[in-house]
Amino acid sequence: METLIALLAGALTTAGIWLMLSGHLLRFLFGLMLISNAVNLAIFTAGRLSMGRPPLLEPGGAPAPEMANALPQALLLTAIVIGFGLFAFALALTIRAFRAFGHLEVDRMRLAEPEPAEPELAGPELARPEKPAGAM
């Protein structure tokens, strides 16, 4: 069983990364969703799989026989919610980027790091021209 899930996680990873590399922000988001699913599956599988028995104690507190591993489940639960937060933030960023640039091609978004026209040398601070002082 683990083997099958491992293959599935690998396949989802492949699909996710391929989409993330596409250079299109929306497809990047799709890839992000896929890869977080793949990672969740991987964490889950690493905690071992056992069919059917949720980690619930019997009334009175006795452990039920052969319960699933509760630890990865707790990790996953928060990971899923956090992943959702990440995804939603990225989505907001995407919309914002589209509004600012008018397209979603990441390699054409160069507002923060413009294509260097010539190699610029950031000298030490003293080399820079100073603003007139005292304009407070």
Is residue 65 a contact residue for another protein (CB under 8 A)? Answer: no
User: How far is the C-alpha of 43 from the C-alpha of 15, rounded, in Å?
Assistant: 18
DSSP 17-49: HHHHTTSBHHHHHHHHHHHHHHHHHHHHHHT--
Site residues for another protein, 3-62, by CB under 8 A, read 3-24, 26-27, 30, 33-34, 37-38, 40-42, 44-61
Q: What angle do CA 82, 88, 94 make, to 5 degrees?
A: 140
**First CA to last CA across the chain, in angstroms?**
70
Alpha-carbon distances, residue 47 vs 33, 38, 63 (angstroms):
22, 14, 18
